[in-house]
């Protein structure tokens, strides 16, 4: 029997709820860090995420005369990027907010083209994840400031993402970013040298990262505005890719306390989403007084 979309979504919500308990439990068991303030912060977060999971109720309801829907109630949301239900909610709010900006950009410039840009760096041990985020941020700032990039792009929305993987019991973190980039008008005009080839992107990102290896980068043109919306969701979907974080055991989830603690420190007060150019300018009424 194939499951309906709503029951699949309900299954996903239940899994995220169980994962929140697992994250809370892992943080409670986190190994001590040298700094007392780090430890206090981690224990406070552990309590908040556990409270968040405890106060959540989740059920499927079909009121008479109404469609079946999921009832998700939580009056004590922890709003942590590490809590899967809160991260889902936050991503949804961010996508909704920026989708409205994207709509305004498309209305103002119906011919604008977009591209999806992915910038990565090499995996490193989980202990380095905070430093890696800082490096990604400063490298992104250098990359988007580079003349060739400024000439080609009118703005971008970027989400930074952490992917975790275990290799022979050693945890590694990979940091990368996905950007929805608004391209300049003559970007695809071969008579104007502003087009960024795959190779040019690799060279620019390598210089921005200040490394001597060839980092993995992709740039892909987006065919139309529907696809631009889908790419926006792709860019902002989560800060920590959940698949590898949770190891399933006996039907439940388990999270390595060390990994959870390093992620908690890395995500503390960090913005994982950036906007620039056409995506950050407020759309003001034009000279004729009509909104553009
Ligand atoms: Zn939460």
Q: Using the mean position of ligand 1's atoms as its centre, give its distance from the Cα of residue 24 in Å.
A: 10
How distant, in Å, are the alpha carbons of 61, 75, 125, 235, 263 from that of 133? 41, 31, 13, 16, 11
Place of tokens 């795959």: 198
Closest Cα partner for 175 from 161, 188, 185?
Answer: 161
Q: Using the mean position of ligand 1's atoms as its centre, give its distance from the Cα of residue 134 in Å.
A: 25
- Give the pLDDT score at 227: 94
Q: Using the mean position of ligand 1's atoms as its centre, give its distance from the Cα of residue 166 in Å.
A: 25
Residue 125 has pLDDT above 60, yes or no: yes
Residue 239: pLDDT band with limits 50, 70, 90: confident
Residues contacting residue 156 through CB under 8 Å, at least 6 positions apart = 117, 144, 179, 180, 181, 182, 274, 275, 276, 277, 279
CA dist., res. 164 & res. 253, Å (int): 16
pLDDT in tens, 159-175: 999 999 888 878 999 99
Beta-bridged to residue 72, according to DSSP, are: 58
CA dist., res. 103 & res. 188, Å (int): 22
pLDDT in tens, 31-82: 998 999 999 999 999 999 999 999 999 999 988 888 888 998 988 899 998 9
- Give the pLDDT score at 288: 45
Average pLDDT over every residue of 185-199:
88
Span of 85-89, 174-178, 179-183, 236-240 with lowest mean pLDDT:
236-240
Q: Using the mean position of ligand 1's atoms as its centre, give its distance from the Cα of residue 45 in Å.
A: 10
Structure letter (DSSP) for residue 128: G
Q: Using the mean position of ligand 1's atoms as its centre, give its distance from the Cα of residue 123 in Å.
A: 28
Q: Using the mean position of ligand 1's atoms as its centre, give its distance from the Cα of residue 193 in Å.
A: 48
Place of tokens 């700094």: 35
Q: Using the mean position of ligand 1's atoms as its centre, give its distance from the Cα of residue 84 in Å.
A: 7
- Give the pLDDT score at 122: 95
CA dist., res. 265 & res. 271, Å (int): 13
CA dist., res. 194 & res. 150, Å (int): 9
Q: Using the mean position of ligand 1's atoms as its centre, give its distance from the Cα of residue 50 in Å.
A: 8
- Give the pLDDT score at 75: 86
Q: Using the mean position of ligand 1's atoms as its centre, give its distance from the Cα of residue 258 in Å.
A: 20
Residues contacting residue 148 through CB under 8 Å, at least 6 positions apart = 194, 196, 200, 204
Q: Using the mean position of ligand 1's atoms as its centre, give its distance from the Cα of residue 159 in Å.
A: 20
Buried b (16+ CB within 10 A) or exposed e, 148-175: bbeebbbbbbbbbbbbbeeeeeebbbbb
3-state helix, strand, coil in the chain (%, to 5): 45, 25, 30
Q: Using the mean position of ligand 1's atoms as its centre, give its distance from the Cα of residue 56 in Å.
A: 9
Q: Using the mean position of ligand 1's atoms as its centre, give its distance from the Cα of residue 27 in Å.
A: 13
Closest Cα partner for 24 from 10, 42, 7, 8?
Answer: 42
């Amino acid at each position: 029997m194939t499951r309906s979309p709503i029951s699949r979504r309900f299954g996903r919500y239940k899994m995220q709820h169980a994962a929140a308990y697992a994250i809370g439990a892992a943080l409670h068991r986190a190994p001590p860090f040298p700094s007392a303030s780090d430890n206090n912060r981690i224990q406070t977060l552990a309590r908040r995420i556990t409270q968040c999971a405890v106060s959540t109720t989740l059920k499927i309801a079909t009121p008479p005369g109404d469609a079946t829907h999921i009832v998700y109630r939580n009056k004590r949301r922890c709003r942590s990027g590490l809590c899967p239900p809160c991260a889902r909610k936050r991503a949804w709010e961010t996508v909704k907010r920026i989708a409205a900006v994207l709509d305004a950009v498309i209305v103002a410039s119906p011919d604008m083209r977009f591209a999806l840009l992915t910038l990565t760096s090499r995996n490193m041990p989980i202990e380095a994840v905070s430093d890696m985020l800082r490096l990604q941020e400063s490298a992104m700032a250098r990359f988007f400031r580079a003349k060739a990039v400024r000439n080609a792009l009118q703005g971008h929305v970027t989400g930074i993402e952490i992917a975790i993987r275990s290799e022979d019991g050693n945890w590694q973190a990979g940091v990368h970013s996905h950007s929805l980039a608004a391209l300049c008008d003559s970007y695809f005009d071969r008579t104007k040298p502003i087009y960024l080839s795959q190779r040019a992107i690799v060279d620019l990102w390598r210089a921005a990262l200040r490394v001597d290896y060839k980092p993995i980068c992709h740039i892909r043109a987006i065919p139309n505005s529907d696809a631009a919306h889908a790419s926006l969701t792709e860019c902002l979907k989560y800060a920590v890719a959940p698949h590898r974080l949770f190891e399933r055991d006996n039907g439940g989830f388990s999270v390595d306390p060390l990994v959870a603690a390093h992620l908690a420190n890395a995500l503390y007060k960090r913005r994982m989403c950036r906007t620039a150019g056409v995506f950050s300018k407020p759309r003001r009424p034009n000279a004729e007084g009509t909104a553009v």
